[in-house]
Amino acid sequence: MKCFVGLGNPGKQYEHTRHNIGFMAIDRFAEKWGVSSFQNKCKGHLAEMRVNGTKAYLLKPMTYMNLSGESIRAFMDFYKVDVSDLVILYDDMDTPFGNIRLRYQGSAGGHNGIKSVIAHTGTSTFNRIRMGINRPNPGYPIVDYVLSNFSKAETGALPAVLDKTCEAMEHCLSEPFEKTMAVFNGSGN
């Protein structure tokens, strides 16, 4: 069993922002596998599904980015799952737009959603799919950048990025995360 957690902010005003690429990936995966509804549960929107016979959960915390860990902790406690069953999907400024990077440990790197996940799980060792959003131009405030919408060119390329992320999600349902990292962190990503 795996739980894919996409980080983002609830509300229409944040729907298409860079910070919500984690939500976008969860929605794309749900659409791909015919999941049409999420329940309000564990301080988030939660869906249960089967992918090629494997049980999976999709979680979008509705706590706002900075408190994402609260929803994840509620899910872990309710379903009695270990942090090793989680895969966190989120925006990463240190990864070029169009690329994804899979990691199983690391610091928050200034990402407040990941800081909250670390605080509520008690570890910085958990599976992550970091989705590249590039860095803003020098002098451009980071908070304004992550809370702004993707550029027109990025919006056009976004479906391919989300599809690549969904492929990585599917892969880690049938293979160990380390093998998925080897496939998706290779060249041409």
Q: Which residues are catalytic?
A: 19
> Cα–Cα distance between 143 and 14 in angstroms, integer?
12
Tokens read off for 72? 């994840």
C-alpha span between 161 and 22 (Å, rounded)? 11
Q: Is the Cα torsion angle 157, 135, 59, 164 positive or negative in sign?
A: positive
Backbone angles phi, psi at 176, to 5 degrees: -60, 150
DSSP 12: G
- Are the C-beta atoms of residues 44 and 61 closer than 8 Å to each other? yes
Closest CA to 59 of 130, 15, 51, 49: 49
Nearest to 117 by CA among 145, 89, 80, 78: 89
